[in-house]
Amino acid sequence: MDPLLLPDNLLTTQLKKVVNWSRRSSLWPLPFATACCGIELMATASSRYDLARFGAEAMRFSPRQSDLLIVAGRVTIKMMPVLQHIYQQMTEPKWVISMGACASTGGVFDCYATIQGIDQFLPVDVYVPGCPPRPETLIEGIMAIQGIIDSEGLPAKDRHPLRLAIEPASRPTSPPVAITVEGKTP
Ligand code: SF4
């Protein structure tokens, strides 16, 4: 090779930086959209907001092809084992966005059936606020994930493990006893 060409044709970097750059530029989200936040998630991928500018437009509904879980909407206690199963099947390294008030806190649905924040059961990396968040806000959340990948390369080591055993949010009451029907006890 002509040594005179080398100064203009060589780029030195670290392998970790190249790997991180490829990861952050090709996120494949898995949309777990259960409610109205899902509509904003769909809008984010539309031509108006063009999520492809950030390399994250390839939404996949197979967890084995995804590395970014976006939970958009409220999650009930019956759904959580399914969501955890999906999370477990996703490829490593993987990241999680909690989109909207319902996913992050339960929102206005303060009842026994709704999970009051998915971070009780999943390691959430970025919370996107709003009810619903606008597409720009979700894009900012995805950029925050990219920032995490740039800075660390891998998910944080201190993320808490999955809590697979879901505690019941309410206890069944005892059945009524000593009911009398027409003067007789059943
Ligand atoms: S945060 Fe608001 S917009 Fe999103 S799912 Fe809950 S109620 Fe719907």
The pLDDT value given to residue 165: 42
CATH number at residue 65: 3.40.50.12280
pLDDT tens-digit map of 116-154: 999 889 899 999 999 999 999 999 999 999 998 888 755
Spatial distance between the Cα atoms of 115 and 178, rounded to a whole number of angstroms: 36
pLDDT tens-digit map of 101-120: 999 999 999 988 999 999 88
| Atom 8 of ligand 1, residue of closest alpha carbon | 36
| Atom 6 of ligand 1, residue of closest alpha carbon | 102
Whose tokens are 């392998």? That residue is: 15
Sheet holding 126-128: strands in order across?
29-33, 68-72, 95-99, 126-128
Look at the chain and report how many structural domains it folds into. Answer: 1
Q: How far is the CA of 7 from the centre of ligand 1 (A)?
A: 54
Q: Is residue 80 part of a domain?
A: yes
Q: How far is the CA of 42 from the centre of ligand 1 (A)?
A: 14
DSSP string covering 19-55, please?
HHHHHHTS--EEEEE-STHHHHHHHHTSTTT-GGGGT
The pLDDT value given to residue 166: 43
Is the pLDDT reported for residue 15 higher than 90?
Answer: no
173 band by pLDDT with thresholds 50, 70 and 90: low
Helices (H), 25-159: 37-44, 80-89, 100-105, 135-152
Q: Is residue 183 part of a domain?
A: no
Q: Is residue 180 part of a domain?
A: no
Strand partners, 29: 68
Number of the ligand 1 atom closest to the C-alpha atom of 73: 5
